[in-house]
Amino acid sequence: VAPLDLLGAKNIVHEDRIMSIAMRPYLTSTTSTEGLTTMIASASIDLSAKLCKVTLNEDAAADSMDVDDGNKAKNNQQLRYNIEECAHLKGHAARLCSVAFHPTGRFVATTSFDHTWRLWDVETSSMAEGKELLLQDGHAREVYGVGFHPDGSLVSTTDFGGVVQCWDLRTGKSACHFLGHAKRVVCSEFSPNGFQLATAGDDGTIKIWDLRRRRPSASIPAHTNLITQLKFSHSTSSQNGEFLVSSSFDGTGKIWSTRDWKLLSTLEGHEGKVMGIDVLDGRDCGVVTCGFDKTLKLWK
């Protein structure tokens, strides 16, 4: 393993705090010279989002395969990844909260305290001007969470008034909305099969919404404080994902069965708020969390 700076760590420069970051959901193979490329999107309270192109440096990657003690990596000054800022997305009138890539990787959605969410064209945006495809001002309060349906047809947004909206990307109009949270809703996540939407926020509950019947199907008293993130596993053995994970200001992460929404496990170990959680799918399935205690923790 080479030091982080040799792997290609480079500042994505914003003028203020970065609130959210997302990776384009696929790698595209280009020429042997350009290597493999993907893209990172970031959203900041400086009123803007940025897109950065990440390209694999094939020569450095080949060298890293020969590293057995780290000494060679220290002497090799080639970065394994080149990171280049390629677009600056401006237009929001207040701080940004979240950013997410469309499943095709062609579009990015951003949310903001200006009560709007926006859709941007990734492939034609430039440093001079980000190409805005849609501005939706249908929320009455600050918009925070955003997520895309697995088939790319819908986008979910959540706001500080407790409202959850699902939007039809073909028309840009609301397809349905859900009410039921007592406080701010800060995160949402579609199930892998696309039939359910999980939402959570300041009231400590996780709500599961049936998208076909457009009604709540479960309400889980999950945490004693604000829930920061939700993620479904994308297990190949279950279209619905075998479990849902949540993280919270109460200092824990939790794992929930998608069959009956019962608690499977509580992840305790962080000192303070747990800010994010994700699932490592595959043969070595696990969960990763990050917290205010400046640590990342991997759970098996």
DSSP for 148-176, written as a single string: E-TTSSEEEEEETTSEEEEEETTTTEEEE
pTM, 2 dp: 0.85
Count of Cβ atoms closer than 10 Å to residue 163 Cβ: 20
- Domains of the chain with CATH codes: 138-300 (2.130.10.10)
State pLDDT tens for residues 165-214: 999 999 999 999 999 999 999 999 999 999 999 999 999 999 999 999 99
Instruction: Specify the pairing of strand 154-159 against strand 143-148.
Output: antiparallel
State pLDDT tens for residues 196-210: 999 999 999 999 999
CA atoms within a 13 Å half-sphere pointing along the CA-CB vector of 276: 12
Count of Cβ atoms closer than 10 Å to residue 286 Cβ: 12
What is the DSSP secondary structure assignment for residue 261, as one 8-state letter?
Answer: -
The torsion region of residue 72 among left (phi > 0), alpha (psi -120 to 50) and beta comes to alpha
- Roughly how many angstroms between the first and final C-alpha of the chain, as a whole number? 21
pLDDT recorded at residue 284: 62
